């Protein structure tokens, strides 16, 4: 009886459109990829590199050895004040992360220039400065992870 219930449950999950998320199938031309960027220490770059390697992509250090080039034109993150108290003290911030990228293969454009910006906001308390700095960094990491997922989905769709 338990086995039948388990099979019925699994079948109903796939029938509703829920599928386990696996690695995305990237185009074969990206097998030897060069990442062109000005900042090889950014959170986005490091997470993108890790995901490409996990997907079986061979990252090369020289553009002339690559079958595809992922060009990162913009990799910018910062925060801005969303609201202030009556004493003009910030009470809420927004963390944002913006990227602009494209994917090329020789003279061919595999994916035209794409602009992405994601934001998250958080409340600020001056008495909890260290905790809020950690929260900001965690938000920045989460945004970069989401951006990497979106980039890989856009690349795999083309």
**What is the pLDDT averaged over residues 2-15?**
52
pLDDT at 117: 97
The share of the chain scoring above pLDDT 90, in percent, equals: 61
Domain boundaries, the chain: 2-156
For the stretch 85-102, pLDDT in tens is: 888 888 898 999 999 999
Least confident of 63-67, 84-88, 113-117: 84-88
Whether the per-residue pLDDT at 129 is higher than 80: the answer is no
Q: Residue 136: exposed, middle, or buried by beta-carbon count in 10 A (0-12, 13-18, 19+)?
A: middle
Strands 108-123 and 90-105: antiparallel
CATH for the stretch 2-156: 3.30.160.150
pLDDT at 17: 46
Using DSSP's 3-state secondary structure scheme, residue 48 falls into: helix
Whether the per-residue pLDDT at 19 is higher than 90: the answer is no
Q: What is the largest CA-CA distance in the chain?
A: 65
């Amino acid at each position: 009886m338990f086995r039948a219930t388990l099979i019925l449950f699994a079948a109903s999950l796939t029938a509703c459109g829920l599928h386990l998320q696996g690695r995305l199938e990237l185009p074969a031309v990206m097998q030897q990829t060069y990442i062109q960027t000005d900042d090889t220490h950014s959170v986005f770059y490091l997470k993108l590199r890790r995901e490409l390697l996990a997907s079986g992509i061979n990252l090369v250090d020289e553009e002339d050895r690559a079958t595809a080039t992922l060009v990162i034109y913009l990799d910018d993150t910062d925060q801005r004040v969303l609201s202030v108290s009556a004493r003009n003290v910030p009470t809420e911030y927004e963390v944002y992360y913006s990227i602009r990228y494209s994917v090329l293969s020789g003279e061919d454009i595999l994916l035209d220039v794409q602009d992405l910006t994601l934001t998250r906001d958080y409340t600020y308390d001056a008495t909890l400065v260290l905790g809020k700095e950690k929260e900001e960094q965690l938000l920045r990491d989460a945004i970069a992870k989401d951006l990497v997922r979106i980039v890989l989905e856009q690349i795999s769709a083309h």
